[in-house]
Each structure stands twice: as C-alpha cells, then as structure tokens.
Chain A
Amino acid sequence: AQSVAQPEDQVNVAEGNPLTVKCTYSVSGNPYLFWYVQYPNRGLQFLLKYITGDNLVKGSYGFEAEFNKSQTSFHLKKPSALVSDSALYFCAVREAHTGFSGGYNKLIFGAGTRLAVHP
C-alpha cells in the first residue's frame, strides 16, 4: 500500500531563513505527490504537485519541492521564510487501483508538520 511519512512534528525557522519540510513516500509504480497547507480554522490549500518531469517543482507562495527518486523523498522548501508561512503542512501521495469494477484514486496524507516561523 502507498504511504507517506513526515518525520518531523514541528519545524522552527527564523524569518528570512530557508525552510525545509520533509516527506518520504512509499509507492508501487510512479508516484503522484502533493503538498497542501492548512491555516488555522481553514481547509487545506493546494501548494504544488509532482506527476512527472523536472524534479524541482515550483508552487504557490514561493514554495518549491524537490523530488528524489533514489531517496524516495519529496521535501518542501522555501528560500526565505515568512511569519505568515506558519501553518500545518501535509504531504500526500496518490493511491490508485484498477479493477474490473472500475478504478479509483485517492490521496493518502502524511501526519502533517507544523511550521513555526519566528520573527
């Protein structure tokens, strides 16, 4: 079964410093990978996805993620953190199934990493 792991419950960064939020995955076949962010009392917002192509994916709000097949990782990065980036970040992988009754796809989410950016 597909799975994702976010090894850090919380990441603390000073404003202006680069940030990295880690994600590793386990899939059979080619991975479809996603990053979402959740602000307090809000739903999840899509940041970026990797389907195929360049290993460096650029997304919303200046975020980017690096896909590394050999390390089965998809770490989220930003060159210069803002206090407003403080939120809960989720990595997700697509789980797909093809069967006689029709296929399905669903997203499997990691446990989430709380990012705290300090002034």
Chain B
Amino acid sequence: KAGVTQTPRYLIKTRGQQVTLSCSPISGHRSVSWYQQTPGQGLQFLFEYFSETQRNKGNFPGRFSGRQFSNSRSEMNVSTLELGDSALYLCASSPEIAGYGEQYFGPGTRLTVT
C-alpha cells in the first residue's frame, strides 16, 4: 500500500506570496492532519480534516487554511507569507480521527520564505 505523499517536496517563496501544499493520504484513510515543524517551536498542530470537515484547528493565524476533498486528499494554503513561515510542513493520515491510533506521516514539504 502506498504511503502518504506530499507535493511539492521543496518550495521557495517570497514574503507576501501565497502557497498551496498538497497531501495524498494512504488509501482508505479518512483523517488528514497537518503539522508545522521548526527548530524553535518543534512540531505544532495546524488542523485536522475528517470526511471533508475540519475537526480541529491549532493556534495559527487565519492565513493558514486547509481543505479536504471527497477522495480524502487535502491541501493547505498559506497566504501573505512571512519569513517565520519557513518550516517543514508534515501531513499525516489515519483511518479514524487522529489520536485514537497511530498517524502515518508523509515526507513533508520544506517551505523556505525569502
């Protein structure tokens, strides 16, 4: 079974631009969660989608948004990029709502904002 895939793997953007990251979960998984990983803040939860509905959201500004499609694929969007948004963005999928069991992580998208 194919794992979680994330595209693109690397991205360089300029401050003020917007970016869209994509995540394809493991087949059959309905929950997709997004995390931001930085050296200073560690792993921080962004949001979770289950069956196309946002079930939970972390403490991030409204510039961070996401959605999930009927095939469980998910996208996250960051508008008006800031230098501090440079991070590794990880997507994770699970069969049920995240937290009951293990989550399966993708390789991440490395976003650099200049």
Dominant secondary structure at the A interface: strand
Interface string of A96-107 (1 = CB under 8 A from B): 100000111111
Known: A43-B4, A112-B42. A105 touches B97 (CB 8 A): yes
Across the interface, do A106 and B105 meet the contact criterion of CB distance under 8 Å? no
> In the docked arrangement, what's the CA distance between A45 and B104, Å?
7
Would A104 and B102 count as touching, CB distance under 8 A? no
- Chain A's nearest CB lies how many Å from the CB of B108? 5
Total count of chain B residues near the partner, CB < 8 A: 24
User: In the bound complex, do residue A49 and residue B101 qualify as a contact, i.e. CB atoms below 8 Å apart?
Assistant: yes
Q: B21 an interface residue at 8 Å Cβ cutoff?
A: no
Known: A90-B43, A104-B97, A105-B97. A46 touches B103 (CB 8 A): yes
Within 8 Å by CB of A46, from B48, B100, B102, lies B102
Q: Are B42 and A105 touching (Cβ within 8 A)?
A: no
Please state if B33 and A49 are interface contacts (CB–CB under 8 Å).
no
Q: How far does the alpha carbon of A34 sit from the alpha carbon of B104 in the complex, in Å?
A: 12
Contact with B along A16-56 (1 / 0, CB 8 A): 00000000000000001010100001111110010000000
Closest approach, in angstroms, between the C-beta of A41 and any C-beta of chain B? 8
Cα–Cα, bound, A108→B33 (Å): 12
**Contact at B105–A109, with CB atoms within 8 Å?**
no
Partner of B105 from A44, A94, A105, A108 at Cβ < 8 Å: A44
Interface mask (B19-54 → A, CB under 8 Å = 1, otherwise 0): 000000000000001010000001101001000000
Contact A106 B98 (CB under 8 A): yes
Chain B contact residues, CB within 8 Å of chain A = 4, 33, 35, 42-43, 45, 48, 55-56, 58, 90, 92, 97-108
- A selection of 23 A-B contacts at a CB cut-off of 8 Å is A34-B102, A42-B107, A43-B90, A43-B106, A43-B108, A44-B92, A44-B103, A44-B105, A45-B105, A46-B103, A49-B101, A90-B43, A95-B99, A104-B48, A106-B33, A106-B58, A106-B98, A106-B99, A107-B98, A107-B99, A109-B35, A110-B42, A112-B43
